[in-house]
Amino acid sequence: MSDDLTTRLTKVFQDVFDDPELQIRRDMTAADVEGWDSLKHLRVVLSIEREFKIRLPSTKVTGLKNVGDMIDLIRSYLPK
Amino acid sequence: MSHAFLQTLAWLPRAGDDFRTRCREIKQSQDSAAVGQQLRTLATQALDANQLERLADLIKSLRGADRDLRPLTPFRLGLIGNGTLDFIEPALIATAARHGIALECVRTAYGQVVQEVLDPNSTLCRAAPDAVLVALDYRALPLRAAVGDAAAAAEAVAASVQQFEMIRGALQRNCNAISIFQSLATPPEPLFGSFDRVLPGTNRQLINETNRALVDLVARNSSSAVLLDVAAIAETVGTAEWFSPSEWNMAKLPFSDVMVPLYADHVARLLAALRGKTRRCLVLDLDNTMWGGIIGDDGVDGIRLAQGDAVGEAFLSIQQMALSLRARGIVLAVSSKNEDATARLPFRNHPEMLVREEHIAVFQANWKDKASNIAAIAETLNLGLESFVLLDDNPAERALVRSSLPQVGVPELPEDPALYPLALSAAGYFESIALSAEDRQRAAFYEGNARRVALKAEVTDMAAYLKSLEMEITFEPFDEVGRARISQLINKSNQFNLTTRRYTEADVAQAENDPACFTLQVRLSDNVGDNGMISVIICREASPDTWSIDTWLMSCRVLGRQVENMVLAEIARHAQRAGIRRLIGEYLPTERNVMVKDHYQKLGFTLRSEKPNGETEWELALPVHITPAPMVITRRGFAEDVADVAHAG
């Protein structure tokens, strides 16, 4: 997973968690990242919206299991 | 103009990619004297939510390490509200540095508004805040009444205002803190439609009435309450953008997260105003800022400044805004790259000029850099540099002043001058919490007699500045592509023009092909952008070993960049290759080209002759050494360079 979307999403995570070393994986969950609480989750979502210039409906962002789900969700909202 | 202009703080320069690095450097820096100013400089960029948080963390850690944050002024602000304030707090701390404040926030548990203010031993009251931001929105207040029931509506409004009054009284009593109340924004979902404003008991009517009563409350208690006009902020960006129902539902964010930087800026400027940091002087550039066009080239009749002309009206609006600011006590000054007499012409002779010389406290028109001029104005008016704002259409001037005098407020401006007033007001430099009789008289007190003052030593490290511009200069002989622009410059340039000889496009085409002519068209780009063609040269062979410089003109936009030296070096280079031993230069005086009277002298030419009418003739022996300015040189289209390349290969 080293496509453009993943690269941009990695940068979002690095910004939000202030960790330039942070790498993401599809199976990564909130438990794997220090400080990923519900507010940080929202910060991730809002930063994704800013980075990708999309709006993610609240119905879709509350049930995400892991980063893989997040990637699929973003992809489904990107212009084809 | 879209809400994005405000939402992205378009008047601030964009944050560079090195933001994180600069944060780290400040943290590790041992130079404690400079930390406060460095934080302010870093904060004076458009920062997104994550960057604001980074900067807030840095400020908190510096404070934790007891670092001296001067010249930032300390301020302790309590935060209470009915929404989630977790994202607002770091934004406030970082943004406050932009406005000269070292902010410390006292947070309370979510929703505990009444408990915190009423109990003198609460976390909030014991922290002894200077002020408390009462971040309540319409959802927090008992604004419920049956629609159409006027009596119930009035009661609901009264109950809400009573709550504000209770908070104000308790904060004053328990910790002597000023209450900062927010006017209420109206959510964008009407019940009926337009009728909502008429009918008692609708959200819109209740909120209107509450805001009106809240304003009265603040006016009655001006020593213990101030207003943050959130309703106006939301209305300016649009309430449909301001409110975000999904963000409220997900995390009780009181308004859309993308608006946090804008909101924080409004809070911070209010805190700065409470600390007396309102800026006091607006320094105006002239050409293309106060009027359209260049007075030195276009003349009083040619500049655009008239009703009925879209461009002219834009500049009239800017002048009107400057006068309104003056009427409320902001001092006006001028800093312009011009001859003094030329710059004053529109003030004296243009019938539609609104700003007049008597409105201007200090009038600096000269060819020195603007940073030195602003420093001179500051000294004359006896005001600190942090009191100043510069309005200037030229990005390079803005960048120079920002880097040499970081205390001065310098808004970025949109391309269209019609939007300059919005950019200037949106930046909030002149935020105030009161208008005193003194304010009304201040501008007159500074006695606007358009004084001109002498400059002290130049404050700018010019060499470092020129280097930072990353200039690239391009030399080409005249060609068909450049022909139209070349002849336009030849016929339009008045100020930096040694001989003011006018040639038609056909003349220019002829010079292209004349073996006895050497021509140059010069372009300059820098890190701010491409300045396009900025200089034109025509030399004619006067004798087998002499070139006479028939035409030398340059755009005033690139004055002070050492372009003249580079152009002379280029002429000398080609002259030597052609076996030329001597250059002759002439200066033919006109009403408008005084600025180049000493041009050849400055470049090391010696005077040959001077006529009674002021015409001078100069000569320079070749070869000559000219110190190069820091710029990359590109050459195109010269026969000998093709030969060079061939030779090298």
Residues whose CB falls within 8 Å of the CB of residue B610, separated by 6 or more in sequence, listed in order: B616, B617
Look at residues B16, B237, B52, B250 and name the one whose alpha carbon lies nearest to residue A55: B250
Mean pLDDT is highest, among B186-195, B451-460, B638-647, for B186-195
> ∠ CA B83-B89-B94 to the nearest 5 degrees?
150
Hey, how many other C-beta atoms are within 10 angstroms of the C-beta on A80? 4
Q: CA of B127, closest CA in chain A: separation in Å?
A: 26
- Work out the burial of residue B412: count CB atoms within 10 Å of its CB; fewer than 13 is exposed, 13-18 middle, 19 or more buried: middle
ipTM confidence score: 0.88
pLDDT tens track for B572-630: 999 999 999 999 999 999 888 988 999 999 999 999 999 999 999 999 999 999 988 89
User: Using CA atoms, how far apart are residues B296 and B287, in angstroms rounded to an integer?
Assistant: 9
Place of tokens 């002290």: B456
Question: By mean pLDDT, which of B73-82, B216-225, B444-453 is the weakest?
Answer: B444-453
- Packing angle between helix B295-302 and helix B340-349, nearest 10 degrees? 20
User: 3-state secondary structure string, B173-194?
Assistant: HHHCCEEEEECCCCCCCCCCCH
Distance, first Cα to last Cα, chain B = 56
Q: CA of A28, closest CA in chain B: separation in Å?
A: 21
| Chain B residues with CB-CB distance to A61 below 8 A | 250
Please report the domains of chain B, with CATH numbers, ordered by start residue: 4-274 (3.40.50.1110), 281-460 (3.40.50.1000), 469-648 (3.40.630.30)
Q: CA of B169, closest CA in chain A: separation in Å?
A: 34
CA distances from A28 to A5, A13, A18, A40 (A): 16, 12, 17, 15
User: Using CA atoms, how far apart are residues B127 and B171, in angstroms rounded to an integer?
Assistant: 12
pLDDT at B645: 39
pLDDT at B540: 96
Token pair, residue B174, equals: 């328990």
pLDDT at B459: 64
Place of tokens 């009083």: B300
- Work out the burial of residue B493: count CB atoms within 10 Å of its CB; fewer than 13 is exposed, 13-18 middle, 19 or more buried: buried
C-alpha B436 chain-centroid distance: 27
**Share in percent of chain B as helix, strand, coil (round to 5):** 45, 20, 35
Q: Which residues of chain A have pLDDT under 50?
A: 1
User: Using CA atoms, how far apart are residues B510 and B542, in angstroms rounded to an integer?
Assistant: 17
Token pair, residue B168, equals: 């104000």
Are B50 and A47 a contacting pair at CB < 8 A?
yes
pLDDT at B646: 35
Measured over the CA atoms of residue A59, residue A65, residue A67 and residue A71, the dihedral's sign is negative
Report residue B641's pLDDT band, with 50, 70 and 90 as the boundaries.
low
Cα Rg for chain A, rounded, in angstroms? 12
E-strand ranges in B529-570 read 529-543, 546-554
B640 has a pLDDT exceeding 80? no
pLDDT at B440: 72
Closest-CA residue in chain B for A39?
B251
Interface residue of B17, B20, B50 to substitute, partner A, most A CBs within 10 Å: B50
Look at residues B240, B244, B338, B241 and name the one whose alpha carbon lies nearest to residue B288: B338
User: 3-state secondary structure string, B602-631?
Assistant: HCCCEEEEECCCCCEEEEEECCCCCCCCCE
Q: CA of A1, closest CA in chain B: separation in Å?
A: 25
Phi then psi for residue B343, to 5 deg, are: -65, -30
Report residue B125's pLDDT band, with 50, 70 and 90 as the boundaries.
very high
Token pair, residue A11, equals: 């940068």
Are A58 and B257 a contacting pair at CB < 8 A?
no
User: Using CA atoms, how far apart are residues A33 and B462, in angstroms rounded to an integer?
Assistant: 48
Report residue B642's pLDDT band, with 50, 70 and 90 as the boundaries.
very low
Q: Collapsing DSSP states into helix, strand and coil, what is residue B207?
A: helix
Q: How many domains, in total, are found in chain A? A: 1
Token pair, residue B547, equals: 């070139």
Token pair, residue B520, equals: 């140059």
Token pair, residue B350, equals: 């243009």
pLDDT at B364: 95
Residues on chain A bordering chain B, Cβ-to-Cβ distance under 8 angstroms: 15-16, 18, 20, 38-39, 42-43, 46-47, 50, 57-58, 61-62
* Residue percentage of chain B with pLDDT more than 70: 95
Are B246 and A58 a contacting pair at CB < 8 A?
yes
Nearest neighbour of B50 by CB, restricted to A16, A57, A58 = A16
pLDDT at B449: 54
Are A39 and B48 a contacting pair at CB < 8 A?
no
User: Using CA atoms, how far apart are residues B57 and B111, in angstroms rounded to an integer?
Assistant: 24
Q: Collapsing DSSP states into helix, strand and coil, what is residue B3?
A: coil
Look at residues B575, B587, B560 and name the one whose alpha carbon lies nearest to residue B621: B575
pLDDT tens track for B13-44: 999 888 999 999 998 887 766 899 999 999 99
The answer to whether B230 and B177 have CB atoms below 8 angstroms apart is no
Closest-CA residue in chain A for B248?
A58
pLDDT tens track for B498-525: 999 999 888 999 999 999 999 999 999 8
Phi then psi for residue B336, to 5 deg, are: -145, 140
B113 has a pLDDT exceeding 90? no
pLDDT at B647: 37
Task: Give the CATH number, domain containing residue A18.
Answer: 1.10.1200.10
Closest-CA residue in chain A for B21?
A20
Are A50 and B48 a contacting pair at CB < 8 A?
yes
Residues on chain B bordering chain A, Cβ-to-Cβ distance under 8 angstroms: 20, 48-50, 53-54, 57, 84, 86-87, 246-247, 249-251, 253, 257-258
* Residue percentage of chain B with pLDDT more than 90: 73
Phi then psi for residue B445, to 5 deg, are: -60, -35
Are B250 and A18 a contacting pair at CB < 8 A?
no
Tell me what the mean pLDDT of segment B207-222 comes to.
96
pLDDT tens track for B450-496: 676 777 666 667 777 788 888 999 999 999 888 988 988 898 888 89
Domain carrying residue A24: 4-77
- Contacts of range A6-15, beta carbons closer than 8 Å, 24 or more positions apart: A6/A71, A8/A51, A8/A52, A9/A48, A9/A51, A9/A67, A9/A70, A9/A71, A9/A74, A11/A51, A12/A44, A12/A47, A12/A48, A12/A51, A13/A44, A15/A47, A15/B50
pLDDT at B644: 44
The pLDDT mean for chain B works out to 91
pLDDT tens track for B270-312: 999 999 899 999 999 999 999 999 999 999 999 999 888 899 9
pLDDT at B527: 78
Question: Whole-structure pTM over 0.90, yes or no?
Answer: no
Q: Collapsing DSSP states into helix, strand and coil, what is residue A66?
A: coil
pLDDT at B649: 30
